[in-house]
Structure 1
Amino acid sequence: MSWDKETKAFGYYLKIERSLSENSILAYGQDIHKLADFMEKNFPEISPKEVQLYHLRQFVKVLAELSISEFSQARIISGIKAFFKFMMYEDKISENPSLLLEAPKLTRTLPDTLSYSEIEQLFEAIPLGEPEGHRNRAILEMLYSSGLRVSELTNLKISHYYEDIGFLRILGKGNKERLVPIGKSAAKYLAIYLKEVRAHQVIAAGHEDYVFLNRRGKKLSRVMVFLIIKKAVEKAGLGKKVSPHTFRHSFATHLVEGGADLRAVQEMLGHESITTTEIYTHLDRDYLRQVLNEFLPGKA
């Protein structure tokens, strides 16, 4: 039983039975390849079905010694646990060696967000007079007003936009669908892009239904979205790191700060668990503590 064979079988299982995205499958595969490389180097006689908790703990010890972040360690361990669950599911092993494998305790950090004024600065930094201006403005507006993940934005289809009711049908993680409202400003710039820009493009075969296209008429890439944001940040002079996810965090933060129901925010973000969404309830308290520390040192 080779590591390569079992890793491929695991990937097939994640795709067919778990319906995970290509990015998630790739990440899981990379985690198992790390373990396989370690085992083949240090315990070459041990096959995947013979791995014990001792071997896994030695692997985790090496990860820590390599100064890999706690977050990355936890993600790799999560991948390993998923792999051995798969091995159990397929009756390839009778005991799961990863059951007692502990991940490092993570310090829960609040996500970076943008203020309302910073959001406006970024919007205004998009030059509407340039060929891709209205497309880029629509992209930033939608990332913020609907809290989309970058992959959800690039995979968005025209047939999934219900303009009459102002909703988007989003295919999220694990191919789970959800309906997300689109803000008035985002809908305005999306309409301009679709009717006045995209309608005049030559569209590549197979890309007719994708909303956002590049100059060649093909679906916009994730990398291009990052570059669009980077350029806007530089032009706005914000002096901070901003990613597509920053817009998503800002969307959720502003909703919670405005008094939105947490379950509604969970639904719009597509979070499987409410505990993931609950991180945004701590933002106001942390801001108050920051103010208290600033004006009353040592009193908080």
Structure 2
Amino acid sequence: MKWQQALNDYNNYLRIERGLSENTIQNYTLDIRKLYIWLEDNASEDSPINITEERILQFIYDLGKTMNPKSQSRIISGLRGFFNFLIFEGYRTTNPLELVESPKTGRKLPDTLSIQEIDSIIQAIDLATPQGERNRAILETLYACGLRVSELITLKISDLFFEEGFIKITGKGNKQRFVPIGDNTIKYIEIYRSEIRVHQQPKPEAKDTLFLNRRGNGLTRAMIFTIIKQLTEKAGINKAISPHTFRHSFATHLLENGADLRAIQQMLGHESITTTEIYTHVETSHLTRVMQKFHPRSN
């Protein structure tokens, strides 16, 4: 079996069997392509079926010279999944990465925004422009619903169930979930729809897309990053802020105010509760208050 054939089969498996998006599939296969190119550069004839643990370790070592532990860990995980697929399909009987340990990367707590900082960013929006009303609705939706940026830009008008107080989100792997939406956020979306969007001519493919650019197309991920970066600078906040920061803040603020971790997990669309725990960046002062309030020996 050639590498390109194995990659094509793996792509089809990820797309059809696991229902992953093209973005995610590219991320899954990027490091496999790196291995394939490295083998060619080193005049190696190893195939996906006969490549050994020693050869892969040499590849990881070479890449590791200019790579941090987190990136090395991602490569090992991605390759392990690829060879597990080959075992599942009957091409191999063993996984050459089965005994390979990932480097310790530690767990970095994500940046979060305080409620005051979020208010400052939203207040920095110029509501005198059509884009201002749209951007306010975008940031309010990001923070109020804890969306991924990909979920925000693909949000459709037909996904809005305002009478029931929910929006339907299509997340990773095309998995759908319903997320509660508050009255304030509904109000800002309705203002944008009735005063701004109604005067636009959406492109045919964006007719049902909620948030549009000036030309009537859907927004890109890069555009959302740019909007947030400019508003953060304008608000005088010296933090590395991205759309995901609003998602982190959504989870953290819910937990700090007493929300159940399982409920937050459902709203974020996480398969594992462990992932949700990483997102909930809780300050130690809050933990101290919880201990004092609820532990019988605290006083």
Deviation sequence 1:197-221 (CA, Å, 0-9, x none): 1111111012111111111111111
CA drift at 1:280: 5.0
CA drift at 1:282: 6.0
| Alignment correspondent of 1:166 | 165
| Alignment correspondent of 1:31 | 31
Deviation sequence 1:89-147 (CA, Å, 0-9, x none): 22111222121122112211111000010000001011111121111111111110100
Decide whether aligned partners of structure 1 residues 113 and 282 sit closer, same or farther in structure 2, where only a CA change above 3 A counts. closer
- Counterpart of 1:212, as a letter, is F
| Alignment correspondent of 1:251 | 250
CA distance in 1, matches of 2:280, 2:244: 18
| Alignment correspondent of 2:231 | 232
CA drift at 1:266: 0.4
SS of residue matched to 1:50:
coil
Aligned pair 1:44/2:44, yes or no?
yes
Paired residues, what number?
Answer: 288
CA distance in 2, matches of 1:70, 1:257: 32
CA distance in 2, matches of 1:260, 1:36: 47
Tell which deviates more after alignment, 104-113 or 145-154: 104-113
Instruction: For structure 2, list consecutive stretches of 5 or more residues without a partner in the other structure.
Output: 289-299
CA drift at 1:265: 0.4
| Alignment correspondent of 1:105 | 104
- Counterpart of 2:44, as a letter, is P
| Alignment correspondent of 1:81 | 80
| Alignment correspondent of 1:18 | 18
- Counterpart of 1:190, as a letter, is I
Aligned pair 1:212/2:211, yes or no?
yes
SS of residue matched to 1:240:
coil
Decide whether aligned partners of structure 1 residues 241 and 281 sit closer, same or farther in structure 2, where only a CA change above 3 A counts. closer
Decide whether aligned partners of structure 1 residues 282 and 134 sit closer, same or farther in structure 2, where only a CA change above 3 A counts. closer
CA contact (8 A) 2:251 2:280 kept: no
TM-score (norm 2): 0.92
CA drift at 1:242: 0.6
- Counterpart of 1:271, as a letter, is H
Aligned pair 1:135/2:146, yes or no?
no
- Counterpart of 1:106, as a letter, is T
CA contact (8 A) 2:211 2:218 kept: yes
SS of residue matched to 2:164:
coil
Tell which deviates more after alignment, 255-264 or 4-13: 4-13
Over the matched positions of the two proteins, sequence identity in percent amounts to 53
Aligned pair 1:150/2:149, yes or no?
yes
| Alignment correspondent of 2:116 | 117
CA drift at 1:246: 0.3
TM-score (norm 1): 0.92
- Counterpart of 1:160, as a letter, is D
Output aligned runs, 1:253-292, within 5 Å. Answer: 253-279=252-278, 283-285=282-284
Deviation sequence 1:217-245 (CA, Å, 0-9, x none): 11111111111101111111112211000
| Alignment correspondent of 1:126 | 125
CA drift at 1:167: 0.7
| Alignment correspondent of 1:222 | 221
CA drift at 1:177: 0.9
| Alignment correspondent of 1:55 | 55
CA distance in 1, matches of 2:68, 2:189: 39
| Alignment correspondent of 2:293 | none
